[in-house]
Amino acid sequence: MAMLLALVFSSASCVLLSAAGQASAGAGARIAPNREIILTSEERALVLKGKVVLRELPPLGPKGRTYEAVGVIPGSLDEAASVLTDFGRYAEFMPSVSGVNVRERDGPHSVVEMTLHLPLGTKRQYRLRYTAVRYEAGFELGWEKLDWPGLKPSQTIADTTGFWNVRPFEAGGLLVVYRVYTDPGYIPLGLTGIARKMAKHKIPDGIVELRERVRKLSRPGVN
């Protein structure tokens, strides 16, 4: 999540958010059960075909980028929530995640350390606080970056925040929104443009992999 994006926009999100939902870099971790999600007719047609819609939003900080992806997956809310909060198994299916250490669980809150191996031989580590909430209309998992003393700037990212929002889709299945803001911090000279391009186009993979994971959970034994 801050966890899924390739290269510097790694993090381990609605097609349109209300203005209040975009107010600050920390907004991604603030759970919003009534978060507004609007699909255009073109976007609706794409997600009904199994596509993942990718959008770039105004950045929440001077150096970062904000992206969101939206798609439809099968299964139930309980199954999707179970997969998304099973942090210890992220390395099995989340793109680029190679290691996870769950440091703490306290009710809806979890502190998780992520290790990502990324294109161009890049490795990044960071510590996140996740907040999970199940509400009447769906499920939301938000995160924010915590300090990790001892890491050099070249070993981590400057900042990240975001959320997963999952709710029933009136046309069937679950509508999933993945939104992430990431400030990559240190990038080797000359690689900024390449890193951002690769990161942007990697974002939809998070929903694709979640879809496959939930599909296997809801239909055990089916390949």
pLDDT of 70 > 60? The answer is: yes
SS3 162: strand
In a domain, 1, yes or no: no
| 3-state SS track over 33-91 | CCCCCCCCHHHHHHHHCCCCEEEEECCCCCCCEEEEEEEEECCCHHHHHHHHCCHHHHH
Question: What is the residue range of 95's domain?
Answer: 7-218
CATH number at residue 160: 3.30.530.20
pLDDT digits (tens, 9 = 90+) for 40-55: 999 999 999 999 999 9
**Per the structure, how many domains does the chain have?**
1
Number of H helices, E strands in the chain: 4, 8
Prediction pTM value: 0.82
In a domain, 175, yes or no: yes
Q: How large is the average pLDDT for residues 62-84? A: 92
Place of tokens 């240190």: 186
pLDDT > 70 in the chain, percent: 73
Residue 202 pLDDT level (bands cut at 50, 70, 90):
confident
* Mean pLDDT computed over every residue of the chain: 80
In a domain, 136, yes or no: yes
> What pLDDT, on a 0 to 100 scale, did the predictor assign at position 111?
98
